[in-house]
Amino acid sequence: MDDTDVKILNLLRQNARTKNTEIARQVNLTERAVRARIEKLTREGIIKKFTIETAQVGVEGIVLIDTHVGRTAAVKDKARQMSDSVFECTGEFDVAVRLRADTLDDLNKRVDELRGFPGVIRTSTLVKLNDG
């Protein structure tokens, strides 16, 4: 990955729908060269997916999960079926999962589903109250 790839990634992070011709203009390449670089970055797993960000609808929470020794990876894999924001963390808990739901009741059902995963000892949920 070179500086041009980094510039392309930054442009896509700002707006995943930016046309290849516009990216090409900004990085001083042809559209075909930009398309080839994006395909290569995707093939190599550097670009995992193209997505959109929406205004918050419903409720959002972070679920912290304590796992049995040796089960963290399995819990993370299972949690990825519910969220695209799953990561290991340090401290009292092993895994953090960001969940979104239409209602608080729906969020609670999703948390209960996480609690039922094999290897989960306990959870703690932080519900987002507002932005900024």
Determine the Cα–Cα distance for residues 27 and 38; give it in Å rounded to an integer: 13
User: What is the value of pTM for the model shown?
Assistant: 0.61
Residue 110 in tokens: 């999703």
Determine the Cα–Cα distance for residues 111 and 16; give it in Å rounded to an integer: 30
CATH classification of 59-127, choosing from 3.30.43.10, 3.30.2350.10, 3.30.70.920, 3.40.50.2000?
A: 3.30.70.920
Domain 3-43, CATH: 1.10.10.10
Domain boundaries, the chain: 3-43, 59-127
- Residue-level pLDDT, tens digit, the chain, 132 residues: 899 999 999 899 888 889 999 999 999 999 999 999 999 999 999 998 887 666 666 899 999 999 999 999 999 999 999 988 999 999 999 999 999 888 899 999 999 999 999 999 999 999 998 876
Say whether 3 sits in a helix, a strand or coil.
helix
pLDDT value of residue 56: 61
Cβ-in-10-Å burial (0-12, 13-18, 19+) of 26 comes to middle
Q: Is the alpha carbon torsion for 65, 71, 73, 79 positive or negative?
A: negative
